[in-house]
Amino acid sequence: MRKSNVKILKKILLHLVFWYFIWFFFTSFFSIGSSNGNFIFWFSGILSTISIIASYVFVYYLIPEFLIFKKYKKFILYTLYSGVFIGFAVLVTVYFGFIFFFNLEYKNMPALTKNSDVILVCVLLIITLASAVKILKYNYKSLEEKKTLENKFLQTQLQLKEQELKFLKMQIHPHFLFNTLNTLYGFTLKKSEQAPGMILKLSNLLDYILYQVDKPLVRLQDEINHIEDYISLEKSRFQEGLQIVFNKNFLDNELQISPMLLLPFVENAFKHGVQINGVVNVRIMLKVDGEELNFSINNTSKNKEISINGIGLENIKKRLEMLYPGNYFLKISHEEKMFCVKLKINLS
């Protein structure tokens, strides 16, 4: 048997059990003060039928078609129509017992069965109960659907952020590769002893850029090692036209950060660095104080406009916001002949 058929059968069985208890309630309640079991049986059966019809009208038509879609005017109008029908049906039920079971002898009728107000209140309570169950079920289903949609939305956002983060990690300005390869080509032609070392450093750097970025965290020491390889390659290219100082101070060799977090700043310094008096000056400082990482880099520059091509400072900011939201401070400034970057990150 298919699951859908089993589900339908369970639903029908549940409804039958519910209405049986309603009939049993009517039978027990209206039998008070009466010994006419045949009358109570039929009287409760008719009231149960009225309750069933009215409840299903509300549960499967008025509530889903009008109340849920906030068509309040039509819902109130049809509710009034339903109230008139229910009131009329209750009166007919009372007169049914009065005529056919008690031969127009009003005094012989049980007190509860001839009180139209009590009967009407009982029927309305059953309809209200069924409608409340429907509304609660709808609200629960809506919350589940909302949670499902939110989870799907968050999952999609997470996937997009992961893809964006991966894309941002892998960005490095092509001019570095071209310039390095050109320098390497020149050293190769000269059969320079520096060529093998440059090839090894470039290979390690490319491996880090292309493959290690998939890791959520790497050791800070690994990031520094690749920064030093990068600087070494740039030194080979600039020769005497580069003066660089790299001061680092940290004690925890197992401290971890996101890969490619500091290297883009170094690449950016060389990208925007300008020779003044024939020399590009770059100063880098890295210090770890407890769980706070302090990083600064300054390079000589004449252009006050910050370019945002390639790796770009905007992309670096996006990465920081994605990785350390609310836990970082970044200041970028252009002082006289000097481009400055200061970064603080709380790694806790």
> 255-314, pLDDT tens digit by residue?
888 888 888 888 888 877 888 888 889 999 999 988 899 999 999 887 655 454 444 677
pLDDT score recorded for residue 293: 93
Are 280 and 273 spatial neighbours (Cβ–Cβ below 8 Å)?
yes
Are 110 and 98 spatial neighbours (Cβ–Cβ below 8 Å)?
no
Are 246 and 148 spatial neighbours (Cβ–Cβ below 8 Å)?
no
Are 86 and 50 spatial neighbours (Cβ–Cβ below 8 Å)?
yes
Q: What is the mean pLDDT of residues 38-49?
A: 84
Query: What's the mean per-residue pLDDT of the chain?
Result: 80
Q: In what order do the strands lie in the sheet with 280-289?
A: 242-249, 280-289, 292-300, 338-346, 328-335
pLDDT of 42 > 70? The answer is yes
Task: Please give the structure tokens belonging to residue 106.
Answer: 């009003």
* Confidence tier at 116 by pLDDT (50, 70, 90): confident
φ/ψ of 300, rounded to 5, equals: -65, 135
Ranges of each domain in the chain: 3-165, 171-346
163: exposed, middle or buried (C-beta count within 10 Å: 0-12, 13-18, 19+)? exposed
Q: Which residues pair with 281 in a beta bridge?
A: 243
Give the sign of the dihedral formed by CA 32, CA 35, CA 36, CA 41: positive
DSSP-derived secondary structure letter, 213: G
3-class secondary-structure state, position 23? helix
**Secondary structure element (H or E) that encloses residue 164, with its range:** helix 116-170
* Size of the chain, expressed as the number of residues it contains: 348
DSSP-derived secondary structure letter, 66: I
pLDDT score recorded for residue 115: 76
pLDDT digits (tens, 9 = 90+) for 91-101: 887 777 666 66
Report the CATH number of the 171-346 domain: 3.30.565.10
Q: The whole model's pTM is what?
A: 0.52
Query: Which residues in the chain belong to E strands, given as ranges?
Result: 218-219, 242-249, 256-257, 280-289, 292-300, 328-335, 338-346
* Confidence tier at 164 by pLDDT (50, 70, 90): low
